[in-house]
Structure 1
């Protein structure tokens, strides 16, 4: 029996392990048998802690209570039927299953045969010794508490979550209130009546809620609109609420109602009458109306956007605001097109901008809107700003009387077109007058009123449409259509065709001159001045490119008596001087300086050294040629459109309105020959109108040429070069649209798409010019760094002078005196600057004394 004693000893050593394993099995069986019961208990307890019984009717509470008790009994009975207390054998089997070879079962076994054989006994003892050794590694088995197979919908987790929410946001004290609902229960009466109360200020105030049971009697300062919630428990009538803060009239609920809810609308008293009652004095903090003021004058940007600064404040925060613009009809100068009674138009209402982040209790903002296309542009209006807070209070600023800021047109013809558009929008009764004025303006286009034939053609097209609509009665839709066409024409006249650098420069100079004459604002002057600077830079680059091209062709470049050589710095100083005079209000001197700049630019020739054209210059030249060809196609499409509107007109009778055959020996024939015909010349082609197939083919060829040029465009990888490619891609799409429109004989659509293509071409050329300028600056910087060996004995760079001992690079003729005069003026200027060191000024004065 020695081997049995070893087995019993090994099993005794497993006592605590077996005990813990048995407890784990018990937890498993309890969890699996009674999880519906404890889930139901958790849900009921969570509902009671959240006060559901206080919100539902008494009948509903008892019905739910009966269902909960019934469900609990069912769950309990089902759990008891499936529950069995684990035995020691269950624990041994569970533990033995976790050990290799089931050693515990081996220790409890007996040999079936050979028990009397000494050899067999020895083998059996050795086997049990090994099994006993394996039991030393036994550890308590962890219980498996998973019941997902029994609860596939996770109802137990919902119950646990509900209980957690109730613990955080509910109250255990509320569970006892369900006992007071029992019929004939005297527990509540024995404990006496009780009450609870809360005060919730409006959310926009940011103040916390107050629990009245924690507040001692006294004075409370509360915002207007605070909500008071009172609950009375116990016998009805034992407690009541008396208040004078709500200002309620009419049908008021009883003071002894178990639950009372009202809003603080005035100062007064709040009192709970009865056992444990209290009284508070409520001082209401009135919600003040917001305030808003206009804290600056309205201004207009160069693009026509109105900027109106304002400041607003409120005790808590502003929720929104609007600006209302109304026509001040009494202040309008009722003359010309405004003499007619205006058509009724609603006031203009725009939302005010609010801070995106930060406090809205006090802030300053700027209203930015563009009213350039509105019929009231530049007319007297009243602007009224108003703001509203979260409580619904509205604050309003005093109406501001002003002329509605909008874009100004400095070109006289563009300004006239805009005025005609305003008259048409003022009243449709002005249609006849507008048509007469348009006829008068376009009567003799050869006198120079129109700088471009296309502008004249556009005006005549608009005129015919206006007259056609007027004969049938001009309605609002057609009026707006004509007004939009007039606006586009005015923009075209004002901004001009910027395809040519010289034309853009002249346009910028004319607009700046007109702005100075008409008293433009500082912002408008600054923008026009910037346009002049950019146009001048473009013109200088174009002159440099053309002069270099002329030099390659072997043409000799001569300077006439009136020609001058100017550097970019000279032009920059002159424009800085013009802007300085304008800022000082010396418009007459600024106008004179601008005229002098114009004369210099007309006489200026820029000379460049001989050399090959760079890829960028070749690309610019090719794009310029493409732009000119596209402009020519657009002009021909306009002429064909005009003659479609007036098929009986004789071609070529107006110098600014050439027909298909050119007329009077001017222009190109539309038949593809390119030969103009005089008015006395006859031929089979005269009077023929070719179809749009020819224009379509030329448009397609031009688009293919643009695609070829895009493939050789320099500057790839740079922001400017990528922007140029993107703009040229838009031009390609617009050309394709024009080609499709020509194929469908839709000339109006083709002209619009051709205009888009030209604008995209100009943008691409500007971006390409910027890319070339950037590369040139980088190249000059690198060249300057590598010219350290080209220095004179004093260590100064030789610059662009010729070799020492030669006359190469020196000024010749009267240029010597002009350069000497410029140097002398520069010395005088520097000598008069007191900020320079005294030694330098003494040296400059000695130079002046000597020369």
Structure 2
């Protein structure tokens, strides 16, 4: 009843106040002319006062008798009134007592009365609902800043003509913005506690905004920025103080230390001739750029033969070092991978130094390192001679006569060891060298021709053998897709085996020329054995015999990709029994590692797709990319099934454990595929995470099995050296699961994902990559990254709001 009387009396006042609040919060007063604003404000004030007076006159206090009467009227016979009555005649006999007992029983059934202010009758135009809707819109879409502007506009109408209104808010505001390269957030000076010392990196911009007159800024920390008296600013160059109004800020300017960079051990030459150079760099605010500078070391060169003459001037080689695209650059561990085999200084003494620069272009250089510039080596005699002549011509064009004489000598009586086409090309080179003085373009073209000729001689037709093998694979794949007969498929399979044998024989012959080389697939830590190649071909043959052409097609494509990057390591896998060897396990680990990285990429793409759906308000609906992601998930699941069939160590405890984990991963991938087709990105990501975890557990079990086998081999005292090579053959996959290292570097990123290992490698200084990830440390790193991003003002308001909500939650 109290609510009914309040609502009945004051609903006009509440409606007016709700409308007024909505107008202020939605900044609707900005559309009212300044002249009419005062009259509008006066009219609203009069209406509010009138509504308050009207409500006060109509409001009546609720009395107890009214409450009892309101409840009594809802009961049959009005028992509450009856219980308070007295008998007029006849006294209070048995009949009267029975009547009271009956009324008391009815009174016990009393319930709370539902309120009814009858506002629909008193407000036939539903003005109260208009006010309620306006209030809801203001709460959702309005803001404090808009309300402040509305209040300021109303206050300005009350100012006398020509007078100034004393500011109701702060008389000044200030900001300290560190340089962008420091990645520190902007500081709002008004929010700093009184007396707190302000620490700023050197070069920070301190700016103020003054409201009204009478406020001055004095400082001694650096040069002024701009000449606007209402927006003074200064650059923080030295420690000092800033005084504004009644506030004083003691400023401590942090010096920007120069960066530091150092090279790792001597550069390593890969089997393909690429140079691999490790480096470390650090800076207090982050390294911006870094490069490697390579210059010729004339003092270390044996100045004989073609190198006896003075070299033509050539600029030093500058190679940009790989840097993280995102994240912290205060401490960086990286690896430069570059192919300099065609450079004139390849395989010659050079001086290598590293340089790094920070955000204010402070430079740091490492101590020069004297080394041999890694490049491809040639072992076929004629190919090596052509490469030497090429080097001499690029050293100086004065060697043209000497190179011409050597070319005549090495091509004398070419029958039996020089192809006729190559012989004609070399004779053409002799004519170019004899006829006239070489221009730079002629020299470079001739150097390219000599390089191609040396490659042809060194490979011994290896590229042609690879092309024949690829052609045979394509023909077999086409026959499987088109449903060719069994006889035709068998003939093409025999052709593929023959081409593969020829290709591997040539690789083996190439390996004999350089016994010191490891012939590996993709990386020095991943070996493929001849037994494993034969096993894959036998598996393809078995699948085709059983009519499982789709699975044979998938395995055939994997076999082709493997053979394109193959280099043979002879003798590996012999005498190991039942095909269970280190090379076989290494291949299984490599394929699982590739599948794991592909699953991680799919999960990342699904996450980005979910973000786009969220921004477009299409959560739960299939996107344009869902079908493609689902197809890729299906292909990855089929590839994992093939790897499951080739998994070594079946029958052993660790081998069976690895198999069960891969089966779990396959089921998780199947559920993820269905979720992607349904547009359930959240569910797909969860199942993909389950698949990744299962694959990691399978790889861990496979690595444990290899450790056990190596321990047994060590106890027998046999093949100790090969066991060490087997550890390297497993590389990052096995070691990553236990030690998290590859060539002394972590193999996992902060989220536990394995690094690829091909090309340039970057490892942050505070990464979590020690195999078994510490969840607490990972959480701290991610939280620090969220804090850093939330302080970057160049990010969108939506993104910073999302990051703030994450910080509030965690």
Structure 2 length normalisation: TM-score? 0.45
Give the structure, 1 or 2, with the largest relative contact order (CA under 8 Å, sep 6 or more): 2
Instruction: Report the structure number with the largest CA radius of gyration.
Output: 1
Q: State the TM-score, normalizing by the size of structure 1.
A: 0.43
